Structure 1
Amino acid sequence: MGLQEILSRFNRLQELIEQENTGSPENLADSLGVSKRQLLNYIIALKNESDQSIVYDRSIQSYKFMDGKDSEVDQA
């Protein structure tokens, strides 16, 4: 896997989170072509590079950005 492919996945992940349209972790991993574990690694990396927390909201079935860094990623 090349750097361009990784950057493309990160960009797509960020877009879907901003739109609050990721779907379930399993569906998101499938749509990005990665395992669920790799998806969680991407989310953690994105969270570490952002000024916002990333959480999974079960009511809308999507990851979303939240202000602050104190929330943890829900590994639902």
Structure 2
Amino acid sequence: MTSLERAAHALNWQVDHQRRVAVVCDALTDYLSNKTGGPSDRDADMCGGVALFLSAYIRHGADVAAEDAKRAEAGV
């Protein structure tokens, strides 16, 4: 695999990762906006859990992107 092919693969992975984050955010927004009578305490707990998950998921994506960038700079 050439350096350009590795970079393209890395960017495609990052795009897919960010799209998954956007889907989760969209689903949560739709859920909360369609609640009759507004969100409940249980909804707040669920949102906190989703935010915690997204934080870890986004951090993982950033870690992978940083590793990809290091490899690209090193020409590996």
TM norm structure 1? 0.32
> Counting helix residues as a fraction of each chain, which structure ranks higher?
2
Which has the bigger relative contact order, CA under 8 A and spacing at least 6?
2
Larger of the two Rg values belongs to structure? 2
> Counting strand residues as a fraction of each chain, which structure ranks higher?
1
